[in-house]
Amino acid sequence: TRKIAVLTSGGDAAGMNAAVRAVAKMGLYRGCEVFIVREGWAGLVAGNVNAAPADVRPPPQRAGKYHGNQDVEGEKFAATFGEGELLQEGAGEGLKGRHILKVGWDDVRGWMDIGGTLIGTARCAEFREKEGRETAAFNLISLGIDALVVIGGDGSLTGADRLRGEWPSLLDDLEKSKRISAEQRSKHAHLTITGIVGSIDNDMAMTDITIGAPTALHRISEAVDSIGSTASSHSRAFVVEVMGRHCGWLAVMAGLACGADYIFIPERPPKSEDWESEMCNGLKSHREHGKRKTIVIVAEGALDRQLKPIKPAYVADILTKRLQLDTRVTTLGHVQRGGKPCAYDRLLATLQGVEAVEAVLDATPQTPSYMIGLKENKVKRVSLMDAVKATAGVGDAIEKKDFDQALQLRDPEFLE
Ligand code: F6P
């Protein structure tokens, strides 16, 4: 029986719960034991301080009841906690100090349409140190867990890739310090790691879309539509800052979806050094064509050709001074990240969660660690290591001002 742990890490994204639910249900359906890790990598490092491993799972309460399949061994489908208990604030006394919990079928019931991540996420300084990763490895091994599904963005999957690369040396150290036995070492010689990309930024290479990005795009589009009606009423200009970290996907897509007048992104800085004049000429001509509103979208990581950040307040100042437009700045902030996942994110998360479990079950010591991506509308396994490398390459290319290369790595079809 495979023992699969699933965690969410990095910034939350709508659809993460649907992904955890899919991994849990598919894992149980395929006869695995499934554990959730609360609070991301931090939870993996913290482990179950107040609970002995044997304690982790209280006796099943409703064996088999909800699955409706009497032939199936009840144990596999039992809920570990009272229905919905994990949803409660603080999750009850019984969960104190426990970060790695075995779950049953009903524990993830109703998770599909809930925003954020119910199992928590945290930035974890300890996991960045080898000692922290060693403790995380120890916690996994002591619970007999042999597969890890990580749902997160670029940084989180880079962490996953690091754990993958380091696993043998972590085992060496753990055995040397007698924290694990030789027998445990050989039993856990391979940890199967699979990544699912959850991030509103859509900044991961080798996949067309990441879980949470479509919902964030909806959220932004609705906000910009609302801004549009007040802008038109007053004949104003608005500079709207959107998230995306070093990636311009949200800005470009929202700009197209809302008919923005001008868009600034990190990967393709304005062609002209004098971008201020270039922008003003464009916006002036839109006004001359009768537009009563001006919408400029600025990705939070937007850069000029000298890699100097382009900030919304500066853009607004230019519009006011050079075009005499009554200009306001709106920073959309975390409203873009929260809230219910749209239908597409639920489907993406579900299909990718299912595929992640299949990838775990197909894994052999020879197969690489996979990231579950989406290419041309098909759920695909790609090499986690390659995806992490290509994503890092985007940042390097931008730093070298090789903007075409940055776009090429981000999305080979984008340039066409
Ligand atoms: O990566 C997701 C994201 O929302 C980015 O778009 C943004 O730059 C960042 O996280 C904000 O992080 P925090 O929530 O820690 O402020």
pLDDT, tens only, 165-194: 899 999 999 999 999 999 999 999 999 999
Q: Is the pLDDT of residue 361 over 90?
A: yes
The b/e string for 117-140 (b: 16+ C-beta within 10 A; e otherwise) is bbbbbbebeebeeeebbbbbbbbb
- The gap from C-alpha 73 to its chain's centroid, in whole angstroms, comes to 34
**Ligand 1 pocket, residue 204 CB under 6 Å:** no
Residue indicated by tokens 């062609």: 271
Is the pTM higher than 0.80? The answer reads yes
pLDDT (0 to 100) of residue 16:
97
Sign of CA dihedral 241, 243, 248, 253: negative
Q: Whose CA is nearest to atom 13 of ligand 1?
A: 11
Among 55-64, 251-260, 361-370, the range with the most confident prediction by mean pLDDT is 251-260
Q: Is the pLDDT of residue 67 over 70?
A: no
Q: Which residue in 386, 9, 32, 339 sits closest to 198, CA to CA?
A: 9
Cβ pair 212, 14 in contact under 8 A: yes
**Ligand 1 pocket, residue 243 CB under 6 Å:** yes
Is residue 271 packed enough to be buried (19+ CB in 10 Å), middle (13-18) or exposed (0-12)?
exposed
Is residue 274 packed enough to be buried (19+ CB in 10 Å), middle (13-18) or exposed (0-12)?
exposed
**Ligand 1 pocket, residue 200 CB under 6 Å:** yes
Annotated binding site: 11, 123-124, 153-156, 199-201, 236, 243-245, 300, 328, 334-337
CA of 219 to the centre of ligand 1 (A): 15
Question: What are the pLDDT digits (tens) for 266-294?
Answer: 999 999 999 999 999 999 999 999 999 99
Cβ pair 254, 242 in contact under 8 A: yes
Cα–Cα distance, 211 to 199 (Å, whole number): 6
Task: Using DSSP, state whether 116 is helix, strand or coil.
Answer: coil
Q: Whose CA is nearest to atom 7 of ligand 1?
A: 245
How far from 395 is each of 52, 76, 158, 407, CA to CA, in Å? 43, 44, 14, 10
Q: Which residue in 146, 191, 111, 149 sits closest to 381, CA to CA?
A: 149
Residue 106 is a catalytic residue: no
Q: Of these residues, 12, 161, 173, 201, which one is catalytic?
A: 201
Cα–Cα distance, 132 to 140 (Å, whole number): 13
The values of phi and psi at residue 28, to 5°, are: -65, -40
Q: At 49, is the pLDDT very low, low, confident or very high (cuts 50, 70, 90)?
A: confident
Annotated binding site for ATP: 11, 123-124, 153-156
Section 366-372 average pLDDT: 93
| Alpha helix segments (H runs only) across 247-311 | 249-258, 275-288
**Ligand 1 pocket, residue 153 CB under 6 Å:** yes
Section 119-125 average pLDDT: 86
CA of 416 to the centre of ligand 1 (A): 29
